[in-house]
């Protein structure tokens, strides 16, 4: 049978979608290829959050077009958010692209690949029209439920919803992922139980705004939102050790969710809490729905409820109209909160978003200067927090070999900090106490602790 290779750009949602497509292809008899050079089917799962991500995928496909001249039978395809937003335009601008599949059609990819390969085998030299499918499909949120046939590791992503209703001024996601659609709780619990039976100890719940799960489809019960109900149900799954979720929105942190961090032992002491800006003027222009003051209050509430909580965030610098004082307000808030880590993005205008049409676009050199300055602030915070960890014993879930040194192993603490240690395969996928002996700030080094 043919082989396939999928290259993924962007977020954890894309990683999870790629895993689903890979599982479907393997179930059809396709084999994973080590790289694109030996694959019969090459798919790019794309991202549209920033222009840079789109350009990377386009350049990659341009390179693959050269390879197709040598092997015209190879099937080339786009999936994901850029495929959804650009559709047939991609096939027109990049001759040789055979398949363009949007975000609600991942479950159709294997069928389309079968069709293309049959067509290739009948008449390899004929001029073929690309298959383009970016239509909406009711129930598509329920199709991302299977996992890679190679078997899960210590942790696994679980998609619980698709889409977003927030319409932030800078964001293209509502147009690429559609409106909010949530999976039934029982389906999610069944998927998690299956994963646990295969050895998974930690799940990360995924959604565009994950803590708004089910708000338009399912009722609040006993004062708890559908998302909080799901967390409490997952707490009761035997064998599951850790629960995480991403990416939430500050407006989704009501009292019941905050309280869950006190009451649920499996819910990890880490929240990813997107800030985007520390300026109220910019937050209003972004349409974020909260103020910097409310954000500060929320962080304080979370830390009071869950001592030792790690807080990470997303920040955009150079949003249209951002003045130097606006930026300094963001900088002050970052220093005040003391984030454990942050993803900092230079604003990138996206088509069909309100922010792309705003006046006072910030020059690229100003964005870059603010980006670098904020990274330096985060480095100092990380260095300080890393020193505070030295000598402490922490529990890690061992994920596998270190990416930079296969002779070592890597794991993450409950606060999502990366720890590298000298170990062997008996530690793989185990919960392991380690003592932190060194740190670079964002990466920590530990020695296994032997009790007795």
Tens digit of pLDDT at every position of the chain (452 positions): 899 999 999 889 899 999 999 999 999 999 999 888 889 999 999 998 888 889 999 999 999 988 788 888 999 999 999 999 999 999 999 989 999 999 999 999 999 999 999 876 655 444 468 999 999 988 888 888 877 755 567 999 999 999 999 999 999 988 899 999 999 999 999 999 999 999 999 999 999 999 999 999 999 999 999 999 999 999 999 999 999 999 999 999 999 999 999 999 999 999 999 999 999 999 999 999 999 999 999 999 999 999 999 999 999 999 999 999 999 999 999 999 999 999 999 999 988 899 999 999 999 999 999 999 999 999 999 999 999 999 999 999 999 999 888 889 999 999 999 999 998 888 899 999 999 999 999 999 999 997 54
* Distance from C-alpha of 423 to C-alpha of 194, rounded to nearest angstrom: 28
**Tokens at 422, concatenated:** 């000298």
DSSP SS3 for 42 = strand
Torsion on CA atoms 174, 8, 6, 203, rounded to nearest 10: -90
What DSSP element (H or E) covers 193? helix 185-197
- Going across the sheet that includes 341-346, the strands are 270-272, 310-317, 341-346
Q: What is the pLDDT of residue 152?
A: 63
Listed in sequence order, the residues at least 6 apart from 197 whose beta carbon sits closer than 8 Å to its beta carbon are 239
Interhelix angle 185-197/226-235, rounded to 10 degrees, is 30
- Identify the H or E element spanning 369: helix 364-389
Q: Single out the residue of 259, 274, 87 nearest to residue 166, CA to CA.
A: 274
Cα 236 to Cα 36, 169, 267, 441, 446: the distances in Å are: 42, 39, 12, 35, 31
Query: Which pLDDT value is given to residue 123?
Result: 56
Helix ranges (DSSP H) in 252-363 = 255-263, 280-286, 292-305, 324-337
For the chain, the residue count is 452
Whole-model pTM? Answer: 0.92
pLDDT on residue 194: 95
pLDDT value at residue 452: 42
């Amino acid at each position: 049978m043919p082989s396939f290779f999928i290259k993924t750009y962007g977020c954890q949602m894309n990683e999870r979608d790629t895993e689903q497509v890979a599982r479907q292809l393997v179930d059809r008899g396709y084999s994973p290829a080590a790289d694109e050079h030996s694959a019969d089917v090459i798919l790019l799962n794309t991202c549209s959050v920033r222009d840079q991500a789109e350009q990377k995928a386009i350049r990659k496909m341009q390179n693959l077009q050269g390879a197709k001249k040598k092997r015209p039978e190879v099937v080339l395809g786009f999936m994901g958010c850029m495929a959804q937003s650009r559709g047939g335009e991609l096939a027109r601008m990049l001759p040789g692209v055979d398949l363009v599949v949007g975000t609600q059609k991942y479950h159709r990819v294997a069928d389309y690949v079968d069709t293309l390969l049959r067509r290739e085998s009948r008449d390899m030299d004929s001029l073929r029209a690309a298959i383009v499918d970016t239509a909406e499909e009711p129930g598509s949120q329920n199709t991302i439920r299977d996992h890679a046939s190679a078997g899960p590791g210590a942790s696994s992503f679980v998609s619980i919803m698709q889409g977003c209703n927030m319409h932030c001024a800078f964001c293209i996601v509502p147009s690429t992922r559609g409106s909010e659609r949530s999976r039934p709780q029982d389906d999610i619990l069944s998927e998690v139980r299956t994963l646990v039976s295969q050895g998974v100890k930690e799940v990360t719940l995924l959604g565009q705004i994950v803590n708004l799960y089910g708000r338009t489809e399912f009722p609040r019960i006993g004062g708890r939102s559908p998302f909080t109900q799901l967390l409490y149900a997952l707490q009761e799954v035997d064998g599951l050790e850790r629960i995480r979720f991403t990416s939430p929105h500050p407006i989704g942190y009501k009292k019941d969710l905050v309280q869950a961090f006190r009451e649920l032992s499996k819910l990890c002491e880490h929240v990813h809490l997107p800030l985007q800006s520390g300026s109220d003027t910019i937050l209003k222009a972004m349409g974020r729905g909260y103020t910097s003051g409310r954000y500060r209050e929320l962080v304080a509430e979370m830390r009071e409820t869950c001592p030792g909580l790690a807080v990470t965030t997303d920040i955009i610098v150079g949003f249209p109209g951002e003045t130097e004082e606006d930026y300094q307000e963001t900088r002050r808030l970052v220093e005040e909160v003391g984030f454990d880590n942050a993803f900092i993005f230079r604003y990138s205008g996206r088509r069909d978003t309100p922010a792309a049409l705003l006046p006072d676009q910030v020059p690229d050199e100003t964005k870059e200067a603010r980006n670098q300055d904020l990274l330096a602030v985060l480095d100092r915070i990380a260095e300080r927090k890393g020193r505070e960890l030295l000598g402490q014993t922490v529990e890690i879930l061992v994920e596998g070999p270190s990416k930079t040194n296969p002779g070592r192993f890597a794991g993450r603490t409950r606060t999502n900090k990366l720890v590298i240690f000298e170990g062997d395969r008996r530690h793989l996928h185990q919960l392991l106490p380690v003592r932190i002996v060194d740190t670079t700030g964002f990466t920590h080094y530990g020695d296994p602790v032997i009790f007795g």
